[in-house]
Amino acid sequence: MTAKLKVGIVGGTGMVGQRFVQLLDQHPWFEVTTIAASAGSAGKTYEEAVQGRWKLSSPIPEAVKGIIVQDASKVEAVAAQVDFIFCAVDMGKYEVQALEDAYAKTGTPVVSNNSAHRWTPDIPMVIPEINPGHLEVIAAQRKRLGTSTGFIAVKPNCSIQSYVPALHALQAYNPTQVVASTYQAISGAGKNFTDWPEMLDNVIPYIGGEEEKSEQEPLRIWGSVVNNEIVKASAPLITTQCIRVPVTDGHLATVFVSFENKPSKEEVLHHWLTFKGRPQELGLPSAPKQFITYFEEENRPQTKLDRDIERGMGVSVGRLREDSIYDYKFVGLSHNTLRGAAGGAVLIAELLKAEGYIQAK
Catalytic residues: 158, 251
Average pLDDT over residues 130-140: 98
- pLDDT score of 16: 93
Mean pLDDT of 100-125: 97
If you ran DSSP here, which 8-state letter would residue 115 be given? S
Which residue from 52, 9, 312 is spatially nearest to 185, judged by alpha carbons? 312
Full DSSP string of 275-320 = ---HHHHHT-TT--SSSEEEE-STT---HHHHTTGGGGTSEEEEEE
Residues 70-98, mean pLDDT to the nearest whole number: 96
Question: Strand, helix or coil at 345?
Answer: helix
Q: What is the arithmetic mean of pLDDT over 57-73?
A: 96
Whether the pLDDT of residue 60 is over 70: the answer is yes
pLDDT tens digits along 301-342: 999 999 999 999 999 999 999 999 999 999 999 999 999 999
pLDDT at 175 over 70: yes
Q: Count of residues for the chain?
A: 361
301 cis-preceded (ω within 30 degrees of 0):
yes
Q: What is the pLDDT of residue 41?
A: 95
What average pLDDT is seen over the chain?
Answer: 97
| pLDDT the model gives residue 215 | 98
Q: What is the pTM of this model?
A: 0.97
1 has a pLDDT exceeding 70 = no
Band of residue 2 on the pLDDT scale cut at 50, 70, 90? confident
Give the separation between CA 29 and CA 7, rounded to whole angstroms.
Answer: 10
pLDDT in tens, 34-50: 999 999 999 999 999 99
- 174-189 burial, b at 16+ Cβ within 10 Å, e below that, comes to ebebbbbbbbbbbbbb
Mean pLDDT for 49-69 is 94
Q: Are 212 and 236 in contact (CB under 8 A)?
A: no
Cβ(350)–Cβ(112) below 8 Å = no
Q: Is the peptide bond before 236 cis (omega within 30 degrees of 0)?
A: yes
pLDDT for the residue numbered 307? 98
What is the amino acid identity at position 230?
I
CB-CB neighbours of 102 under 10 Å: 17
191 — pLDDT class (breaks 50, 70, 90): very high
Given a contact cutoff of 8 angstroms between Cβ atoms, the answer to whether 56 and 22 are in contact is yes
Measured at the CA of 17, the angle between CA 12 and CA 21, to 5 degrees, comes to 90
Closest by CA position to 24, among listed 50, 51, 58: 58
Confidence of residue 143 (pLDDT cuts 50, 70, 90): very high
Instruction: Return the C-alpha torsion angle 139, 142, 143, 146, nearest 10.
Output: -160
What helix, strand, coil percent values describe the chain, rounded to 5?
35, 25, 45
